[in-house]
């Protein structure tokens, strides 16, 4: 497949990433079990009557997609593709609670209709009155990467010239309660978390929405070239070096050609060993991490992709993301490596335009 261009990038996250010059105000979050997204004033973007009926995922995605389309100067994308791990889980919980409270009788369908995972893509399309290709991917931590792959196919096959692609996930009280019980979320006594040298299991959970406009052609606003993507459901630690080197070789690159590597260290001792293994391949690259800024969640890679876009465009790396002290004079190739709890490994290669 031919490369496509990321022509705009927008993100709602634990950081105030909607504002200009957010690079200088990034703060590490390592003392809370759960991190909440910094939300905009939704009334500026969504009619008040509609806000009441929207879950947090839909609201965040509506605003993030609005910013992405506005920056790209596009009113109608040729396709809308969204990735999500948990979907609109707030409405799912409300529907299930109604089922229990009403003994499975006299149920209103609203919460069920709004709980489906494709609600986000559907609501964005309704807001834009867009009748183009509309698809949702639910593949845990590689949901955004599958959305990008589909977007590349749509563009390469001539089905669309510009695609709105993104990912979003929200938190819900009951799910967070369950995550605490099964130790997905770090115990209070294990905080503050050490993201890079953790001796304990579990993560700090976050949330957010990231949207991008992918285009066939480079524009003056382009952030990066989306060169290639690779996804593997399972990879043993011993397979990580070949997983990465084979991917680079396919793109006629070696590890020394990568200027910056963004790794998904989450503070989970059990699964972070994959990232430690990957670091050994990049002795002369800038090594970065980001989940101390965003928290861990199914589509946290949206935040890392957003950061990578800004790093390539500004040719500047925030010190708060640095693992080592290596800095290149020019940042040309950036590799993103992510997984969730050791499953669904993804590699994304971005190139300076």
What tens digit of pLDDT does each residue of 235-247 get?
999 999 999 999 9
pLDDT, residue 192, reads 95
Sign of CA dihedral 34, 40, 45, 46: positive
Distant-in-sequence, close-in-space partners of 329: CB < 8 Å, separation ≥ 6: none
- The 10s digit of each residue's pLDDT in 278-337 is 999 999 999 999 999 999 999 999 999 999 999 999 999 999 999 999 999 999 999 999
| Lowest-pLDDT choice from 93-107, 118-132, 185-199, 313-327 | 93-107
Nearest in space to 333 (alpha carbons), one of 230, 275, 262: 262
Rounded to the nearest 5 degrees, what angle is found at the Cα of 337, between the Cα atoms of 335 and 343? 160
pLDDT, residue 91, reads 75
| Domains assigned to the chain | 4-215 (3.40.47.10), 225-351 (3.40.47.10)
What average pLDDT does this structure show over 185-195?
Answer: 96
- Report the distance separating Cα 290 and Cα 100, nearest Å: 40
Distant-in-sequence, close-in-space partners of 308: CB < 8 Å, separation ≥ 6: 224, 260, 262, 334, 336, 348, 350
For residue 67, report the phi and psi dihedrals to the nearest 5 degrees. Answer: -65, -40
Nearest in space to 294 (alpha carbons), one of 175, 225, 202, 195: 195
- Report the distance separating Cα 90 and Cα 92, nearest Å: 5
The answer to pTM > 0.85 is yes
pLDDT higher than threshold 90 for residue 204 = yes
If pLDDT is split at 50, 70 and 90, which confidence band does 226 have? Answer: very high
What average pLDDT does this structure show over 155-164?
Answer: 97
Distant-in-sequence, close-in-space partners of 173: CB < 8 Å, separation ≥ 6: 93
pLDDT, residue 108, reads 75
pLDDT higher than threshold 90 for residue 48 = no
Cis peptide bond prior to 192, omega within 30° of 0: yes
Contact, 226 vs 348, CB < 8 A? yes
What average pLDDT does this structure show over 105-117?
Answer: 76
260 bridge partner residues: 286, 334
Nearest in space to 306 (alpha carbons), one of 41, 105, 1, 15: 15
Starting at the edge strand found earlier in the chain, the sheet holding 333-340 runs: 133-137, 79-83, 162-169, 208-215, 4-12, 224-234, 343-351, 333-340, 260-263, 286-289
pLDDT higher than threshold 90 for residue 85 = yes
If pLDDT is split at 50, 70 and 90, which confidence band does 25 have? Answer: very high
**Between residues 76 and 92, which one has the greater pLDDT?**
76
Query: 69: buried, middle or exposed (CB in 10 Å: 19+, 13-18, 0-12)?
Result: buried
If pLDDT is split at 50, 70 and 90, which confidence band does 112 have? Answer: confident
Question: pLDDT averaged over the chain?
Answer: 94
For residue 58, report the phi and psi dihedrals to the nearest 5 degrees. Answer: -65, -40
pLDDT higher than threshold 90 for residue 31 = yes
């Amino acid at each position: 497949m031919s490369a496509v261009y990321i022509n705009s990038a927008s993100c709602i996250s634990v950081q105030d990433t909607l504002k200009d010059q957010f690079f200088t105000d990034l703060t590490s979050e390592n003392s809370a079990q759960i991190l909440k997204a910094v939300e905009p004033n939704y009334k500026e973007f969504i009619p008040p009557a509609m806000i009441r009926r929207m879950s947090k995922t839909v609201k965040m995605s509506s605003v993030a997609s609005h910013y992405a389309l506005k920056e790209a100067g596009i009113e109608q994308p040729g396709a809308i593709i969204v990735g999500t791990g948990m979907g609109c889980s707030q409405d799912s919980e409300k529907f299930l609670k109604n089922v229990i409270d009403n003994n499975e009788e006299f149920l209103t369908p609203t919460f069920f209709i709004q709980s489906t995972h494709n609600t986000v893509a559907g609501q964005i399309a309704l807001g834009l009155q867009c009748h183009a290709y509309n698809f949702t991917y639910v593949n845990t931590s590689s949901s955004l990467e599958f959305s990008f792959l589909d977007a590349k196919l749509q563009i390469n096959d001539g089905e669309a010239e510009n695609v709105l692609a993104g990912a979003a996930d929200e938190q819900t009280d009951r799910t967070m309660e369950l995550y605490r019980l099964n130790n997905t979320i770090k115990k209070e006594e294990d905080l503050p978390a050490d993201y890079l040298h953790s001796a304990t299991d579990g993560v700090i959970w976050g949330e957010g929405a990231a949207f991008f406009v992918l285009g066939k052609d480079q524009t003056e606003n382009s952030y990066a070239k989306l060169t290639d993507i690779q996804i593997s459901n399972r990879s043993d630690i011993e397979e990580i070096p070949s997983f990465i080197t084979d991917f680079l070789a396919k793109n006629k690159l070696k590890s020394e050609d990568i200027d910056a590597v963004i790794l998904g260290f989450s503070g989970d001792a059990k699964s972070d060993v994959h990232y430690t293994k990957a670091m050994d391949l990049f002795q002369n690259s800038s090594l970065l991490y980001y989940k101390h800024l965003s928290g861990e969640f199914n589509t946290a890679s949206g935040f890392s992709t957003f950061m990578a876009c800004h790093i390539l465009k500004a040719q500047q790396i925030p010190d708060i993301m640095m693992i080592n002290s290596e800095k290149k004079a020019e940042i040309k190739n950036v590799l993103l490596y992510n997984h969730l709890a050791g499953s669904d490994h993804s590699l994304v290669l971005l190139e300076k335009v």
